[in-house]
Amino acid sequence: MATHGTRGGPAFPLPGGRARVGTRGRPFRRAGGHTSVSGGTAPISKLGEFALIERARTLLGNESDPRVLVGIGDDTAALQPTQGKILLVTCDTQVEGTHFRRDRMSAHDLGRRAAAVNLSDIASMGGAPTFALVSLSLPPDFPLSDFDDLFRGIGDQFRAFSAKVVGGNLASTAGGLVLDITLLGEVAPNQILTRSGARPGDRICVTGSLGASAAGLRAIERFGEAAETFFPELVRAHRLPSPRVLEGQEIARSGIATAMIDVSDGLAADLLHLCDASRVGAVVHMERVPVCRELLPAAERLGESPEILALSGGEDYELLFTARAGPETDETLRQIADACGVALTIIGETVPKEEGTWIVHPDGRRTPLTAQGWNHFR
Amino acid sequence: MATHGTRGGPAFPLPGGRARVGTRGRPFRRAGGHTSVSGGTAPISKLGEFALIERARTLLGNESDPRVLVGIGDDTAALQPTQGKILLVTCDTQVEGTHFRRDRMSAHDLGRRAAAVNLSDIASMGGAPTFALVSLSLPPDFPLSDFDDLFRGIGDQFRAFSAKVVGGNLASTAGGLVLDITLLGEVAPNQILTRSGARPGDRICVTGSLGASAAGLRAIERFGEAAETFFPELVRAHRLPSPRVLEGQEIARSGIATAMIDVSDGLAADLLHLCDASRVGAVVHMERVPVCRELLPAAERLGESPEILALSGGEDYELLFTARAGPETDETLRQIADACGVALTIIGETVPKEEGTWIVHPDGRRTPLTAQGWNHFR
C-alpha cells in the first residue's frame, strides 16, 4: 500500500511521497580516494530509506557524546545545552545548478563545502559549533557512492570543528540535489559579536585573503580540470573554503572586536551590511586588502580586475570585523594571528555614517564603496 | 559584477548563485482570502533578495521576544535557551512533486502544513515548540503573491503554537519548490518521551482518529475540487493536519506515558518503529482503532479498505503512545481528553518482543502487523 507524501518519523525522517524519477543527474566529478567500493554506481533507490539513514549514520562516524540525549533515529534530536551559553542557530542551502554543478565538484567536496559555509556563519558570531541537521533532497537515481561521499564530506568537515550531525531529513525529488544544513552553536553572553556593534573610529580587519574563491571559480570555468594545475590555491579556495571557526572564537574572546560578519557576498557587500547594521560609514584602503599570491597572475590570464575580485568576488568565508583603535588592538591582533596561523589585516576604519563608505585607491583617489554582489533573483 | 554560488550573510541568507530560470511552475491552487493584493502575479525575481527577506519578516509578524537576542537579519539567530530544559531540534522538507502539487494545494496551506509537520515532531517528544528556521528554494518565476501566502501560512501555524521564525535561507533553483523547516523546542528532563521507553503490558493509545488524511488525498486525486464538498473533514485532514502539541505536553506531564511517536508513516509502520526501539511486541485490536465518520463512506466510494487506510494511510500526525496499565491511567487519559478536547483511545497493548506484533480482527482472527508504509526510494 503506497502512501503519498508521507514523511518518515526518525530524526532522519524519510523521503516523502512517491519518487518520480527525474532526468538523470550528471555524475559528480570524482575526487581521489573517496569513491566507495561497496556503493559503486548503484542508485540510492536500491536501498530502502531506513538503510540509507543507517548508512548515513555510519558514514558520519559520530562518537558518543553525553550532550546528545537522543540522536539520529527518533522524531527529534534531544540535546543538553551548556548552561549559561547563548544558543546560535543558522542554516544554509546548496542547490544543484545554482550553487554547484555535479560535473565540477566531487560529492565529498560538496559535503565539506556545505558544512563549511554553515561553520562560517557560527564563526562570524564568535561561536563554537555544536550540532547539525542534514536535510537532503535527491533524485532516486542518485549514485549510492556519491551519497556515501557526500556524508563522508559532511562528517569530515564537522568533525574537524567538533560538531556532530544529530539528525536531518531525506527526501526524494524529481529536480536536482538540494542540501540544506542547519547548524547549532553556542557562545558566552559577553562574547557574542553581531553586525551592529561598530562605532566610528574602529579599525576594519579581515582574516586571511580575499578574492581567491571567485578567481578559482572563473579559472575552473575557463580552464576546466587544468585550473587545478595552474592555480591550485584558487581552486582549493573555491571548492573547500576554510571556515574561520577558531579565529572567530579568539577574536570574540579577546574583547577588542565590536562587530563581525563573514565574507560570503564579497568584502564590499558584507562591509556595507555591517555598516548598515552599525549605522557607521567606512573607508577601505585598497592597497591594504590582502589577496593570495596566485590572484594577480590569475586575474591577468582571466582578463579580470584583481581589485574587483578581491572586493566583490564573494564566497571567501573570511571574517570581517571591527575593533577598537589603539596599540592594545594591534598587539592583540598579532597574538591571535600567531596563535591561529592566519593573517589578520587592518584594511581601513569606520567613520561617522554621514561621511559615507569609500575606497581609497593607491593613487589617493576615493571612489564610493558599493555592493557589487550578485542579486540572485534579478 | 556577478558572483557565482554566493550565499548572502543575513539570517535569511540569500539565494545562491546565478538563477537559471526553470520551467514555469504550475500555479498554486488559490485559497480564499490569502492572495496578496500588492503582490499579484509578479514573480519574486522583480524584488531583490533583501526586499524578499524584509517581506518575509513582515509577513511572519513576529512580536518581540526577550529570548530572541538576534533574529532575522544577522548571520545566525541567537537565542536564550530556558535554563534546565532539554533542547529539541527537528527538520522536515516539503518537496514539490513529491509531497505536494502546486495545483492541488494553496501556498498558504503548504506553509501551514510544513509548519504543522515539524510541530508534530516536537509534540511527539512531549516538547514545547520555540523557534524555527525556514529554508526555501524556489524558481525565479515564483509568484510574489504565493511567496506572501506561503510565509503567512507558516507564520499563522507557528503563531498558533507560540513558535517564532528567527531565520532561514532563500535560494533560487531551476527545479521545483523545496521548503525545509527546522524547528527547535524544549522539554523538562523528567518529561521527555522517546520511542524506546515502552515495556510489555503497557497500553497502546492514540490521539484523534486515523486514516482521514490518506482518504482525503485519494478523494482529491479522484474527485478534484469536488472532494471538499463530499468529504470536507478528510480533505481538511490531508491539507491541514492538526499537530497535537498541547496533547503531547499534557501526556508527557501526566507521567503515565512510557514512549511516544507521531503517526506520519501510518499507524502500523510507526507502531513498529516504537516497538523496535522499545524491544517489545504489540497487539492492536482493529475494532478499537478510531476513524472519523467520513472514512467509511469515503472508503466505499473510493474502493479502498477502511482498515488499510486507518492502519497504513500515513500523514495523520496523531500521537501514538504507550502508558502504564492501571485504573490511574484510564482516569488520566479521560482528564487529558477533556482538557484538550480530543479523543484518546486505547487500541491495544504491548507484549514481550518474542510474542511478535499482531492485529486482532473483530472476528477474532489474528494477522501479523506489518509496515505498509511506502518506501520512498523503491
Q: What is the pLDDT of residues A328-362, one digit of tens each?
A: 999 999 999 999 999 999 999 999 999 999 999 99
pLDDT at B110 over 50: yes
Specify the pLDDT at position B40: 64
Give B 171-230 residues with CB within 8 A of chain A. 171-176, 178, 180, 182, 184-185, 187, 192, 194-196, 214, 217
Predicted pLDDT of residue A330: 93
What is the Cα–Cα distance from A343 to B89, expressed in whole angstroms? 36
B-chain CB neighbours of A45 within 8 Å are: 377-378
Bridge partner residues of B165 (DSSP): B132
In the prediction, which pLDDT does B13 show?
40
Residue-level pLDDT at A167: 94
The CATH label, of 3.40.50.720, 3.40.50.620, 3.40.50.300, 3.30.1330.10, for the domain at B44-187 is 3.30.1330.10
B130 touches chain A (CB under 8 A): no
pLDDT at B360 over 80: yes
Per-residue model confidence (pLDDT) at position B248: 98
Q: Do A374 and B127 touch (CB under 8 A)?
A: no
- Tell me if B375 and A49 make a contact (CB, 8 A cut-off): yes
Distance from the Cα of A219 to chain B's closest Cα (Å) equals 12
pLDDT at position B375, please? Answer: 36
- What pLDDT is recorded for position B154? 97
CB-based contact B99 A187, cutoff 8 Å: no
Query: To the nearest whole angstrom, how far is the Cα of A264 from the nearest Cα of chain B?
Result: 6
- In this prediction, residue A22 carries a pLDDT of 35
pLDDT at position B130 over 90: yes
**Residue range B203-368, CATH number:** 3.90.650.10
- Average model confidence (pLDDT) across chain A: 88
Q: Where is pLDDT greater, at B337 or A53?
A: B337
pLDDT tens across A61-119, in order? Answer: 877 899 999 998 888 999 999 999 999 999 999 999 999 888 888 999 999 999 999 99
Q: pLDDT tens digits, residue range B174-201?
A: 999 999 999 999 999 999 999 999 999 9
Instruction: Give the H or E element holding residue B312.
Output: helix B306-312
Burial of B7 (0-12, 13-18, 19+ CB in 10 A): buried
- B-contacting residues of A 21-60, CB under 8 Å? 44-45, 47-49, 52
Grid cell in block for residue B18: 546565478
Third-level CATH fold of A46-187: 60s Ribosomal Protein L30; Chain: A; (3.30.1330)
Burial readout B60-93 (b: 16 or more C-beta within 10 A, e: otherwise):
bebeeeeebbbbbbbbbbbbebeeebbbbbbbbb
Percent of chain B at pLDDT > 90 equals 76
Choose among B188, B215, B194, B34: nearest CA to B109. B34
The average pLDDT across A308-330 equals 93
The answer to whether A273 contacts B9, with C-beta atoms less than 8 Å apart, is: yes
Contact A18 B374 (CB under 8 A): yes
Residues 274-293 (B) with a CB less than 8 A from some CB of A: 277
What is the pLDDT, as a whole number, of residue B73? 80
pLDDT at A14 over 50: no
| B21, B70, B90, B105: best to mutate for the A interface, most A CBs within 10 A | B90
Average pLDDT over residues B220-230: 91
User: Tens of pLDDT along B262-284?
Assistant: 999 999 999 999 999 999 999 99
Tell me the pLDDT tens digit for each residue of B338-348.
999 999 999 99
| pLDDT score recorded for residue B63 | 79
Q: Which residues contact B244 (CB under 8 A, 6 or more apart)?
A: B120, B123, B207, B208, B262, B317, B318, B319, B342
Contact A74 B277 (CB under 8 A): yes
Count of beta carbons in the 10 Å neighbourhood of residue B123: 32
Helix axes A107-123, A144-159, angle to 10 degrees: 30
**Which residues of B96-241 form beta strands (DSSP E)?**
128-138, 164-172, 178-187, 203-207
Is a pLDDT exceeding 90 seen at residue B61?
no
Q: How far does the CA of residue B174 sit from the closest CA of chain A (Å)?
A: 7
Report pLDDT digits (tens) over B8-59: 334 454 333 333 333 334 457 655 544 443 556 789 988 877 889 889 999 9
pLDDT score recorded for residue B27: 58
- pLDDT value at position A48? 77
Chain A residues in contact with B90 (beta carbon < 8 A): 11, 13, 75-77, 133, 167
The answer to whether residue A146 scores a pLDDT higher than 70 is yes
Q: What 8-state DSSP symbol labels residue A96?
A: B
- Minimal Cβ distance to A87: which of B3, B18, B81: B81
Using the Cβ of A306 and the Cβ atoms of chain B, whether some distance falls under 8 Å is answered with: no
Give chain A positions within 8 Å (CB) of B135. Answer: 91, 93, 135, 180, 182
Q: Report the gap between the CA of A91 and the closest CA in chain B (Å).
A: 6
pLDDT at A20 over 70: no
B98–A376: do the CB atoms touch at under 8 Å? Answer: no
Using a CB-CB cut-off of 8 Å, the residues of chain A touching B100 are 5
Structure confidence by residue, pLDDT tens digits, A255-308: 999 999 999 999 999 999 999 999 999 999 999 999 999 999 999 999 999 999
Q: B78 CA to chain A: closest CA distance, Å?
A: 5
Sequence ranges of the domains in chain A:
46-187, 203-368
β-sheet with A203-207: strand ranges across: A257-262, A319-323, A203-207, A344-352, A280-285, A357-360, A366-368
Rounded Cα gap, residues B108 and B143, in angstroms:
13
Please tell me the predicted confidence (pLDDT) of residue A209: 96
Q: What is the mean pLDDT of chain B?
A: 87
Is ipTM strictly over 0.85?
A: yes
Q: CB B1: neighbour CB atoms within 10 A?
A: 17
Which of B353, B195, B358 has the alpha carbon at shortest distance from B265?
B195
Q: Is the pLDDT of residue A190 over 80?
A: yes
Contact between chains at A93 and B277 (C-beta distance less than 8 A): no
**Cell matching residue A101:** 554543478
User: Interior CA angle at B39 toward B36 and B41, to 5°?
Assistant: 105
- pLDDT for res A40: 64
3-class DSSP state of A187: strand
Nearest one of B174, B67, B241 to A22, comparing CA atoms:
B174
What is the average pLDDT across B137-164? 95
Q: How confident is the model at residue A30 (pLDDT cuts 50, 70, 90)?
A: low
Q: Cβ A376–B49 below 8 Å, yes or no?
A: yes
Nearest chain A CA: its distance from B318 CA (Å): 12
Whether residues A3 and B374 touch (CB distance < 8 A) is answered with: yes
